[in-house]
Structure 1
Amino acid sequence: MRLNPRTVRQIDSPFGEAGELESRRRGERDLLDLSQAAPCYPAAPAVVEHIAAVARDPHGGDYTDIAGLPHLREAFAADLSRSYLSHVRAEQIVITAGCNQAFCLAVSVLAEAGDEVVLAVPYYPNHDMWLRLNGIRPVYLEPGPDLVPDPEAAEALITPRTRAIVLVTPGNPSGVTAGPEAIERLAEVARRHDLALILDETYRSFRDTAEPAHRLLSDPQWEQTVVSLHSFSKDYAIPGYRVGAVVASPLLNREVMKLLDCVAICAPRIGQEAAWAGLTLAQEWRLARARELEEKRRRFAAVMAERPGGFELVSAGVFFGWMRHPFAGRSTEEVVRDLAIMYDTLVIPGTAFLPEDGRMLRASFSNVDQKSFADFANRLTAAGMSRTTIPAN
């Protein structure tokens, strides 16, 4: 069997590689897994009770409409309308098997091999990986000093082959939230050039404000430019249920549904029911978890303010700490490998989110309890003092 050389090694998933490192660790301490972000608490009781009832229903395992359960789409449209002070309609929503699938389907409608898509740096690695796997050239938009992309810099990257600008806000891996004005200026750039602005808003519920993330959905013409992607995984602690959404024009969604029908037929019914239960029965629970996570962020930032082992916290928000390691002469992959094997600590190298090695690491502080932050700092201190390295193989 011949393999496409573009898919071999150079586009491996950083999250899968973190699992390989875990298997090699010395195990002298309990594992601190700050790699893949996930809630460290179970789903709300109301969600669990509802999905248990669905599982017992004779039709609980049936297919749904390709676009998703009508009652979920209506509930999500109402939630978005409240959150964005706008009027979002159910026909503008397609439910997908997670936000990763939402991105893949939307981009596959908008671009093809040979086209270009502008990715704001640091980018989410699966976005970069999907583009390159499909022969679409990612064009990297460097961030400003506040880690928010500059619209003028974005405009300078646009060519006749550009099809979209992609921004994750709040950011993964940086945790930084772009303000409404910055998002709206990017949308204006996209509109002038007849491009899509793809906003991955997976972490919108974990911002430190109840104000709308942006005002784009209040514009009667937003469908011509905006593609908003969402996830229910973090909001309701159901990442394994795989449920997300594309919010876009009915015209774009019609094409998204053709692809969805081919790859999955529909998003899993049980995940859709869990998302509906969260939206209608667990909103207070959702807000309480967001407040807890904000307190966790403050505690993590306070611990990292001492720069343990020379590791510097550059930004922190939602689920993530974006850190710079102190080893100027070493590759970030090597530093991450040593942290895993010698110090039983899993993080993701910044090279997964950047086109070049910038000595950055992503630590998902949401994965551990606050009592573990001091332990994490102690392990970084020990790593900073050590000059021992582990061979690559």
Structure 2
Amino acid sequence: MPKAVFNPLVEMLAPPPIPAVQAWARAYDGAHGPLIDLSQAVPGYPPHPDLLAWLSEAAGSANLAGYGAIEGDMVLRDAYADHVSALYGASISAEDTHLTAGCNQAFVAALTAVAGAGDAVLMTNPCYFNHETTLAMMGIEARYVDCPAENGFLPRPSDVAAAITETTKAVALVSPNNPTGAVYPPALLAEIFALCRARGIWLILDETYRDFIAGGDSPHALFSEPGWQENLIQLYSFSKSFCIPGHRLGAITAGSAVVEQIAKVMDNLQICAPRAPQQAVAKGLPALVEWREANRLEIERRAEAMRAAFARTPAWDLQAIGAYFAFVRHPFEGRSSASVAEMLARDYGLVTIPGAYFGQGLERHLRVAFANVDTDQIAEVAGRLRLMRG
């Protein structure tokens, strides 16, 4: 009897990186103190008590137990449109928003709406691995533009232009970046967006970590460009700012014509985003502004603690840092990033992600997610790194 086979586009994918690196940590014997998990981007503090109360209230509502609108409940679409309008100094309507079950789903839905098998999407190197695997399992070609360390892990517009081909449907960027933490300056985003418009392709801009930009500055002015709706799709996650990654809630800001296409995709993925967190976040957006700002300042303090920690460990080169992430060059020439990350986790209780998981030419790098550890733990990281021998 013939054996059933898997979809080869899925079977060829590597296992999810986070569980893989956390498995290394299970071998750690505690010799240097408690395990310090720097692998996953999760908030290192709890949700606001009021938000938890609103979540509990909404979860117990019979009215919210049924299906909601595919595009999302209007109470949050309205609140989020107001929030985005104020943040970017633009005029965004509820019809320009679509709610999803997290930002990964937002990327899948947006990508499906604009590209298909045989098309190409331009990614950065380094890139967010879930974006890369999404393209792979959909049969979409991933093309790459290098973001060299000497350029702050940012792409050069001339390189972006050179990498676009006739099959390219979109350029996908993440700012602040995952894995490097690099923040794209507004002028650079404007230049790349102008290039996308000139070529008639989409800019898919993932701004999951925008609430943690140092100084709280507005990320860009793209929404003030006339006709932005024809070429821009912005993605966002409520997980970090509201500390609710387990509730899976994200958002897309795009023109109403894009939202219409994404709704077709969402109807086949999930029908509607989870409704209890939609109701709670709709209340939290205007009510918890000061709390969210305090959290942004806390992340800034942790970033400063990271800079100080790596200043005490000069063999480890902190090459980029921003929002939730630091991108670090390890000192062990000739050793793969996976072998160094495994040794850090197994022998020293420091869990990081190998740079090679994010692209080519990154064997000397590790991604360090510092937002989920406090400043005392960050200081401890420096001490353990100084003990490490290759």
Query: Do they fold alike, i.e. is TM over 0.5?
Result: yes
1:62-96 residue CA offsets vs partner (Å, 9 max, x unmatched): 22111111010000000000011000010010000
Runs of 5+ consecutive residues of structure 2 not aligned to the other structure: none
> Partners in 2 of 1:99 and 1:175 — Cα distance?
17
1:80 aligns with 2:84: yes
Point out the more displaced range, 132-141 or 49-58: 49-58
- Does the CA contact (< 8 Å) of 2:64 and 2:275 recur in 1? yes
- Does the CA contact (< 8 Å) of 2:9 and 2:138 recur in 1? no
Name the count of aligned residue pairs.
Answer: 384
Point out the more displaced range, 16-25 or 254-263: 16-25
Q: Could you state the TM-score of these two structures normalised by the residue count of structure 1?
A: 0.94
Tell me, what secondary structure is at the counterpart of 1:235? helix
Change in 2 beyond 3 A, CA 1:211/1:341: closer
- Does the CA contact (< 8 Å) of 1:115 and 1:162 recur in 2? yes
Tell me, what secondary structure is at the counterpart of 1:230? strand
> Partners in 1 of 2:362 and 2:12 — Cα distance?
17
1:291 aligns with 2:297: yes
Tell me, what secondary structure is at the counterpart of 1:270? helix
Tell me by how many angstroms 1:123 deviates: 1.0
- Does the CA contact (< 8 Å) of 1:307 and 1:313 recur in 2? no
Letter matched to residue 265 of structure 1: I
Name the structure 1 match of 2:178. Answer: 172
- Does the CA contact (< 8 Å) of 1:46 and 1:277 recur in 2? no
In structure 1, which of residues 246, 259, 264 is the aligned counterpart of residue 252 of structure 2? 246
In structure 2, which of residues 295, 313, 316 is the aligned counterpart of residue 311 of structure 1? 316
Q: Could you state the TM-score of these two structures normalised by the residue count of structure 2?
A: 0.95
Name the structure 2 match of 1:391. Answer: none
Change in 2 beyond 3 A, CA 1:210/1:40: closer
In structure 1, which of residues 116, 121, 144 is the aligned counterpart of residue 120 of structure 2? 116
- Does the CA contact (< 8 Å) of 1:46 and 1:281 recur in 2? no
Give the superposed CA RMSD: 1.4
Name the structure 1 match of 2:14. Answer: 11
Change in 2 beyond 3 A, CA 1:337/1:9: farther
Tell me by how many angstroms 1:9 deviates: 5.5
1:230 aligns with 2:233: no
Tell me, what secondary structure is at the counterpart of 2:173? strand
The 5 A counterparts of 1:178-189 are 178-189=184-195
Point out the more displaced range, 16-25 or 2-11: 2-11
In structure 1, which of residues 332, 349, 352 is the aligned counterpart of residue 354 of structure 2? 349
> Partners in 1 of 2:22 and 2:349 — Cα distance?
12
Letter matched to residue 315 of structure 1: A
Tell me by how many angstroms 1:16 deviates: 2.2
Name the structure 1 match of 2:72. Answer: 68
> Partners in 2 of 1:10 and 1:254 — Cα distance?
31
- Does the CA contact (< 8 Å) of 2:305 and 2:379 recur in 1? no
1:100 aligns with 2:104: yes
Tell me, what secondary structure is at the counterpart of 2:205? strand
> Partners in 2 of 1:286 and 1:4 — Cα distance?
43
> Partners in 2 of 1:167 and 1:8 — Cα distance?
26
> Partners in 1 of 2:230 and 2:185 — Cα distance?
21
> Partners in 2 of 1:164 and 1:24 — Cα distance?
42
1:26-57 residue CA offsets vs partner (Å, 9 max, x unmatched): 33331110000111111112211211221232
- Does the CA contact (< 8 Å) of 1:303 and 1:374 recur in 2? yes
1:277-334 residue CA offsets vs partner (Å, 9 max, x unmatched): 22021111001100111011111111111225x2211111111111001111111111
Name the structure 1 match of 2:134. Answer: 130
1:95-142 residue CA offsets vs partner (Å, 9 max, x unmatched): 000011000110111111111111122211100110011111111111
Change in 2 beyond 3 A, CA 1:10/1:331: farther
Deviant stretches of 4+, over 4 Å: none
> Partners in 1 of 2:198 and 2:14 — Cα distance?
33
